[in-house]
Amino acid sequence: MVRRERGPRRGNDERSGGKPARGRPERGRPGKPAHGKPAHGKPTHGKPTQGKPSHGKPTHGKAPQGQDAQPRDRDAARRPPVQRATTPPPARRVFPTVTLAAPSPARAGEWLLTTRPGAELDLIEELYFNDEKSAPRPAGASLVAARARPKKHGQTVELAFARQGFLVAETTSASGSEIARAIATALHAASRVPVAWAFDIWVPDSDVANPLNAAATALEAETLREIATIAASWSVTRVPDARVAFSENGLYAQVCLLPDRRCAVGVGWARDAISLAPGGRLRVHVPSAAPSRAAMKLLEAFAWLDRAPEPGDLCVDLGAAPGGWTWVLLEKYRTRVLAVDPANLDKSVVGQRGLVHLRADAFKIEPEETMDWLFCDMAFRPLEVAGLLAKWARRQWARMLIANIKLPMRKKAEIMARVRDILEDGGWTNLRVRQLYHDRDECTIAGVRL
């Protein structure tokens, strides 16, 4: 199922942007291969399994030595993964410096977009890199206003750092009758005949706006009562939520309640919505048995993509410990999982049927059979992780990808654009990137290899 890469590679190495791989042996003095073996040579301690690990073969659901490939060196689990000095691939485009305008609220005819708290600049940079004419500017805490949503080849660009948003039809006071009138006008403008439509009032995710959540709920109820009076024919076609509106090819009316008690109102087709969750806050539930909260990120990613593994699919989980993603893949999707991480997995997953734990550096392994899914949540430098994921596509080791890219730095939008370029160069297509609700300083990227 998997073997460790042998010997230093010559020529193009995906992590080093064309330079020969430079590594550090897992043990021994820096720069000197342990036990006289080459840096990328055989493991210098222990073997991944007793005998050859074989995914989906007899090791599954069997004795611990096949399930959890323990190195003989017990300290290995506690050691941080191997760090390397590598040169990331050069950027293929130049990213302009973005100067921030003064914050001002979104006006009618502009896009109002909401972000994770603190990610306003990331979204502004992303908009600017895609289309300067979108003229983005801060519009309050967790809010950005833009003249347009950028397009590429006639298609609207999916923005990674926008959780939710809409084209503002009107701004109103926070009164049910005012909002109802604005929504009824916008619904009529979008469709002459009543169609399925959903309605949400949300607040931006910020310290000043979050306390208004209860007020937003009350305002929503008040608005619906008013709509029943002034637009009765539309009142009867309203559906419970945006997912239903989407499935019925209907409309999605949104209201953003702002801290100054003003409201931005907009109506668009649900199929064009940035998210189908109010304010883009797609909450998922993870049972307490899950080893980590990271499990929520994967469940949210499946909901966002509307795609998930089938039972029996072969998955590799790079950077798997303590095992939240692996737990989701085993428990909820009944897949077979090769969990790669030098660290320990939680006891709730150890020994589970379908699991092989390989205590290894993900940069040093190669699978012996094609994986259906490549999952990666490795805490490692984003451009080097991108190089690794590109290698998996280039060598046709996996068909589908979901990766969480860690972004503890400034210039997140630029890094994500470069990550995307590296993945595309490797052969991943249909790439989608999003800072999900459960993501922190990170973004989720998904793709397929055709």
Ligand X SMILES: C[S@@+](CC[C@H](N)C(=O)[O-])C[C@H]1O[C@@H](n2cnc3c(N)ncnc32)[C@H](O)[C@@H]1O
* 25: its two tokens: 């042996």
Q: Does 291 bind ligand X (CB under 6 A)?
A: yes
C-alpha–C-alpha distance, residues 98 and 82, integer Å: 36
Beta bridge partners of 143: 114, 140
Binding segment toward ligand X, per CB under 6 A, in 43-51, 134-142, 230-238, 287-295: 287-295
Residue 137 or 381: which CB sits closer to ligand X? 381
Tell whether residue 379 is a contact of ligand X (CB under 6 A).
yes
Q: Which residues of 126-160 are buried (b: 16+ CB within 10 A; e: fewer)?
A: bbbbbbeebebbbbbbbbbbbeebbeeeeeebebb
The nearer residue to ligand X, 4 or 147, going by C-beta atoms, is: 4
Residue in this structure with the two tokens 């609220």, named with its chain if needed: 105
304 binds ligand X (CB under 6 A): no
Q: Which of 297, 364, 406, 412 is catalytic?
A: 406
From residue 289, alpha-carbon distances to 77, 143, 256, 285, 327 in Å are 22, 36, 36, 12, 9
Q: How many whole angstroms separate alpha carbon 41 and alpha carbon 26?
A: 10
Q: Is 37 a catalytic residue?
A: no
Comparison of 305 and 343: residue with beta carbon closer to ligand X: 343
Pick out residues in 352-371 that bind ligand X (CB under 6 A).
Answer: 361-363
E strand spans, 66-154 = 68-69, 111-114, 137-140, 143-146, 151-152
Distance (Å, rounded) from C-alpha 147 to C-alpha 109? 8
Q: Which is nearer to ligand X, 149 or 406 (CB)?
A: 406
Of the pair 170, 442, the CB lying nearest ligand X is at 442
Beta strands in 299-428 (DSSP E): 314-318, 336-340, 355-358, 365-367, 371-376, 398-406
Q: Is residue 333 involved in binding ligand X (CB under 6 A)?
A: no
Answer for which of 165, 319, 354, 367 binds ligand X (CB under 6 A) is 319
Which 78-107 positions form the footprint of ligand X (CB under 6 A)? 81
Residue 325 binding ligand X, by CB under 6 A: yes
* 14 binding ligand X? (CB under 6 A): no
| Residue 199 found at the interface with ligand X (CB under 6 A) | no
Confirm or reject binding of residue 322 to ligand X (CB under 6 A).
yes
- Residues at the contact surface with ligand X, assessed by CB under 6 A: 81, 291-292, 294-295, 318-325, 340-343, 361-363, 377-380
Task: Please give the positions annotated as active site.
Answer: 406
